[in-house]
Amino acid sequence: MIGVFDSGYGGLTVLAALHARLPRQRFLYLGDNAHAPYGPKSGAEILALTQAGVERLFHVGARVAILACNTATAAAIRPLQQAWLPVHYPNRRILGVIAPMIEEIAQTPWHATAGPDEKRRPVETVAVFATQATVESGFYPREIALRAPNIAVIQQACPELAGMIEAGAPEAALRATVVGHVGALLQRLGRAPDKAVLGCTHFPLVEALFRNALPLETQILSQPARVAAAMVAYLFRHPEMKDFAPEVVEPLCFTTGDAAAVSVLASRFYGRHLRFQTVDSGPRESSETLLDA
């Protein structure tokens, strides 16, 4: 099985894209709604919560865990991949949602680095709208600069937006918040960015608001679609990680929050009914406890 982890509802945008591309693949989804949003938390908190979430997914059978959260990916993926996974789960894998976006923006493979054009002047501008923690990590500008130094990255923190989406805020309030952040970035930049990245998986849930606020000439890159395409390619390279059912199968969904309340809002975001089960938000449980919750 493939596990998808997020701080709350945002990862549903990735799950939907994955399920559309791989409808017979068995997926598990875990939203840490009890601790959402992750954006205002410290790096140590995000790492601890992400590790606990991934471990829950492993204990219900996931062989691959996708961090469907930019904040969790920026803060946790390297220590988990490099120090934790080899010791505790050497036969499992953890993937993030930022690397496919970096590849899309830089138009180069993740393991490639910049060539002799390092001193070229920027010829393209990419705006990144993200949580406070993702912006402060510098993950996007640092990794893009390594691969495509001719791309200028300008970031805009939207610290309250993920929390507003989690709380089911009215559209008028969401629109005002998005307009404010887009306006702040445009004022600093002084022109329309060539491309925009919604660098929090919650933000595609209000992509229409970003589209209306951004200049028409700015292209919005779809992170869920790019992650799904990368997952298809990953399974082609690693067929042992596939777990296909004979027919279309719906994902199993878990939350550390209130299952009934989460199911209602998640189903609205996902576009069809999802039934969540509650797991304890404390230390990880056995696989039996998770599946029987």
Is 6 labeled as ligand-binding?
A: yes
| Residues recognised as catalytic | 69, 200
Is 59 labeled as ligand-binding?
A: no
Query: How far, in whole angstroms, is CA 137 from its chain's centroid?
Result: 15
Beta-strand (E) ranges in the chain?
A: 2-6, 27-31, 64-67, 93-96, 124-130, 151-157, 195-198, 219-221, 252-255, 276-278
Give the other-Cβ count within 10 Å of 88's Cβ.
Answer: 12
Q: CA gyration radius for the chain?
A: 18
Q: Give, rounded to a whole angstrom, the gap between the first and last alpha carbons of the chain.
A: 19
Q: Find all residues with CB under 8 Å of 292, minimum gap 6, and list them.
A: none
Is 202 labeled as ligand-binding?
A: yes
Unique residue bearing structure tokens 């953890």: 94
Is 39 labeled as ligand-binding?
A: yes
Query: How far, in whole angstroms, is CA 148 from its chain's centroid?
Result: 22
Q: What span, in angstroms and rounded, lies between the C-alpha atoms of 210 and 212? A: 5
> Do the bridges between strand 151-157 and strand 195-198 make them parallel or antiparallel, or are there none, so unpaired?
unpaired
Q: Is 131 left (phi over 0), alpha (psi -120 to 50) or beta?
A: beta
DSSP three-state, residue 27:
strand
Is 89 labeled as ligand-binding?
A: no
Q: Find all residues with CB under 8 Å of 90, minimum gap 6, and list them.
A: none
**Degrees, nearest 5: CA angle 263-279-252:** 55
Q: At what angle do helices 70-79 and 43-59 cross, to 10 degrees?
A: 80
Is 194 labeled as ligand-binding?
A: no
Residues of each annotated binding site: 6-7, 38-39, 70-71, 201-202
Please report, in range form, the residues annotated as the binding site for substrate: 6-7, 38-39, 70-71, 201-202
